[in-house]
Structure 1
Amino acid sequence: MKPKIHLSLIALFIAFTLYNCSSSNDPIEKPEEENPTPETLYFPPIGSDDWETYSLTELNWNEAALQPLLNLVEEKGSKAFIILKNGKIVVEWYSEDFSATENHTWNSAAKTLTAYTMGIAQKEGYLNIYDSSQDYLGANWSSMTDQQEKNITIWNHLTMTTGMDYNVENNSCTEPSDLLYKNEPSTYWYYHNASYRLNLDIITGATGIPFTDYFNEKLKNKIGMQGVWIPLGCFNLFYSTARSMARFGLLNLNNGIWDNTTILSDTEYLNAMTNTSQNLNKAYGYLWWLNGKDSFKLPQYEDDFSGKLIPDAPDDLIAGLGKSDQKVYVVTSKKLVVVRMGDDSGDTTFGPSSFDNELWIKINALTN
């Protein structure tokens, strides 16, 4: 199958001139070389499908490594795959049964959208993440005692440290009968979907605006994303195009600023969101996964694992990771955003999988 990749025209050669020496002792003045990958980020226009591109030649990337990367992407059941450098598209690939205009679920990668929206709500004064979540969910939102409810903060919901029982029949549902006490808040980390899901209700309760409307107004529309939240059973899933996921990654690459528009100015919150939020799982921020730590925990497991989350990925990588290998990676040091949507790669997990490292080995071969 022929990959669909954006490759711009071959880069122009940079002309240069050496100045003549007035004497053998005069220093030779060398011209400054133009940087082929300037640090200034590009932002695609809002309301347009236009998106500028880089060629592999312009970036001096390894063209021989492109096809092996795309072969892996295809073999692992992917539907869409995008690499941005400095905001411009370098690679854009779709499977034969998918396209740039089709929507796909983010699954739990959309948790990052919720964390971001929570930061906006706090900046606008609707809430403080150290408030009790009961302040916005109301009393008796669970089967816990009143005091047990009051002890759980919004911060606990953002960091997976509510202490609620994850051994219930369905730990993704938010009926009071599914929300039971197990541990004191902030003393135990477990990837508990019901605990996360309540963040949407907290934002609604705090702002007085339905979560989806607030999200659309404050985040989605401002950066030119499209997409929709769809309630499915116990879940509320976000569906969008791969390019919309890339837009969100680019917003995070630029620390909350889209072109000249600040979406979230609370740098303290942004920094806390994308760094270790607690010592129970060093690889977890506010609903974001973090690389480069010396240990991590995984969904569905209670144990600690030693080493980095994705050993061959850059240490400063942050990621939204969802079931069936929905992925948005952001790497500030390399000015990269990488998006992958599709079916699971063979590991049925709620977030990180072995495919993460396989993918980064191939990405490194291309970009290095």
Structure 2
Amino acid sequence: MKFSQYFSLIALLSVFVSCSSDSEPSTETGKSGTPPAVTPVPTETYFPPISRTNEWETLSMETLGWNEDEVSNLYFFLENNNTDAFIIIKDGRIVIEKYFGDFKSDDNHAWNSAGKNLTAMLTGIAQEEGFLNILEPTSTYLGEGWTNMPLNQEQNITIKNQLTMTTGLDYTVEDIFCTDPECLNFLNDPNTFWYYHNGPYTLLDDVIANATERDFNAYFSEKIKEPIGMQGLFLKIGYNNVFFSTARSMARFGILNLNQGNWDGTSILSDKEYFNAMTNSSQNYNLAYGYLYWLNGKSSFRLPSSEDEFSGSLIPNAPDDLIAGLGLNDQKLYMVPSLDMVIVRMGGASNEEFLGPSSFDNELWELINAVIE
């Protein structure tokens, strides 16, 4: 069954300046009769400094025992599928960092729906700080009349429903990005069906802003962006609130996730119960979906713009414990705890334009496996 196609969000803006990679240390070959020096693989996690953002330790493929002969095939595939930036991080260190065409390391790119991960974590932080409870009705923070439904139906929708795509709001409307009340109509009772409906998700930003009485960008910057050395900004594009940053900033957020909300001893999100709920199946209708996170290794999955359920794992070629942020035009943030690995891909659509997961994921992981195995 083919994935349903959706219309695209196109936005190219520059926001802040990031950084370029450090040179990679070399390993000298021993003289005749002396074995070559062996560089040990680091076992501790490295956190790139937040005050010196141009610094980032590297790790060679040779040290890791990766197959460097397969890298050219990986680059060929990426370049021929409209990639702008590609990074592989192992144990916090850069192993591969490649930019294509005119795109540079300090250029900013839209995350599109991969940015949903940012909102999910920020929601957990706001709950941890006592500003909201995800089990409360959304109307507690948006007021009555944020939908086009009778009040008794509207009050059944909770913040958790927004996080899990189970609001029951009508996804057959002309524009599922629309956040105006007239676009938000009853279709199903909450918690009875999963559908990738962008409008209710986007309103989470207003929930957080109203609950904290802070500008959304300012609260995000204080709680996540600045403490881990990211740069970037959420910008309004039509109804959507889209995050733009460098590829390295996306990689930093990936490292934060692999360390379950902790950055080099600083707790960004301390609530482990929330983090675990966010990164595991959040409901029974789409096992491959947490709190706005995509999950691999489940027995079935559903996709954006579709009512169908598909058997098997979301990305069969990827590790089962992979969690991900997946955005329109193949923006990819892969996080693999078992490998302590973060992979970032930014660029244009590989072929058809999918809202999140696409066939590109599985093709890309086949080539990644050839390198890392």
Using structure 1 for the length normalisation, give the TM-score.
Answer: 0.92
Q: Which residue of 1 aligns with 2:314?
A: 309
Query: Could you give the per-residue CA deviations for residues 154-174 of structure 1, whole angstroms, max 9, x where no partner exists?
Result: 000000000000111111011
Task: State the secondary structure of the residue aligned to 2:105.
Answer: coil
Letter in 2 for 1:291: N
Candidates 247, 257, 260, aligned match of 1:255: 260
Paired with 1:8 and 1:302, the residues of 2 have a C-alpha distance of 48
Which of 25, 30, 44 matches 1:9?
25
2:131 aligns to what?
126
1:321-367 deviation per Cα after TM superposition (whole angstroms, max 9, x unaligned): 00000010000000100000000000210000001001101111111
- When residues 311 and 7 of structure 1 are mapped into structure 2, their CA distance, relative to the original with a 3 A threshold, is farther
- Percent identity over the alignment is 55
* Aligned-partner Cα distance in 2 for 1:281–1:36: 42
Q: Displacement of 1:274 after TM fit?
A: 0.4
CA contact (8 A) 1:5 1:93 kept: no
Displacement over 2 Å in runs of 4+: 4-14, 34-39
- Decide whether the 8 Å contact of 1:6 with 1:55 is kept in 2: no
Match of residue 303, structure 2, among 291, 298, 305: 298
Classify the secondary structure of the residue corresponding to 2:79: helix
Tell me the amino acid that sits aligned with residue 124 of structure 1: E
Q: 1:163 to 1:304 in 2, by over 3 A?
A: same
Question: Is residue 53 from structure 1 mapped to residue 65 from structure 2 by the alignment?
Answer: no
How many angstroms apart in 1 are the aligned matches of 2:23 and 2:342?
Answer: 17
Q: Retained in 2: the 8 A contact 1:51–1:88?
A: yes
**Displacement, 1:7?**
6.8
Q: 1:40 aligns with which of 39, 44, 56?
A: 44
Distance apart, 1:97 and its partner CA: 1.1
Q: Could you say which structure has the larger radius of gyration?
A: 1
What do residues 76-120 of structure 1 show as CA deviations (whole Å, max 9, x unaligned)? Answer: 100000000000000000012100000000000000000010000
TM-score by length of 2: 0.90
Counterpart for residue 203 of structure 1: 208
CA pair 6-65 structure 1, distance change in 2 beyond 3 A:
farther
Offset at 1:39? 3.2
Once the two structures are superposed, what CA deviation does each residue of 1:216-238 show, in whole Å capped at 9, x if it has no partner?
11111110000011101111111
Deviations 1:283-311 (A, max 9, x none): 00000000000100000000000010000
The answer to whether the 8 Å contact 1:289/1:318 transfers is yes
2:78 corresponds to = 73
Partner of 2:119: helix, strand, or coil? Answer: helix
What one-letter code is carried by the residue in structure 2 that aligns with 1:81? F
Distance 2:128 2:92 in 1: 26
The equivalences for 1:178-197 within 5 A come to 178-197=183-202
Residue 278 of structure 1, aligned match among 270, 278, 283: 283
Distance 1:308 1:337 in 2: 19
What residue is the counterpart of 2:92 in the other structure? 87
| Higher relative contact order (CA closer than 8 Å, sequence separation 6+) | 2
Letter in 1 for 2:156: N
Give, in whole Å, the separation in 2 of the partners of 1:243 and 1:10.
23
CA distance in 1, matches of 2:57, 2:243: 26
Pick the aligned partner of 1:230 from 230, 235, 251.
Answer: 235
Could you list the runs of 5+ residues in structure 1 that have no partner in the other structure?
Answer: 15-33
Q: Which runs of 5+ in 2 are unaligned?
A: 1-19, 31-37
How many residue pairs align between the two structures?
347
C-alpha displacement of 1:35: 8.7
Query: C-alpha distance in 2, partners of 1:11/1:207?
Result: 51
Per the TM alignment, residue 5 of structure 1 is displaced from its structure 2 partner at its CA by: 8.6
Q: CA RMSD in A?
A: 1.7
Aligned-partner SS, 1:118? helix
Whole-angstrom CA distance in 2 between matches of 1:141 and 1:352: 30
User: Residue in 2 aligned with 1:287?
Assistant: 292
Give the whole-Å Cα distance in 2 for the aligned partners of 1:344 and 1:310: 18
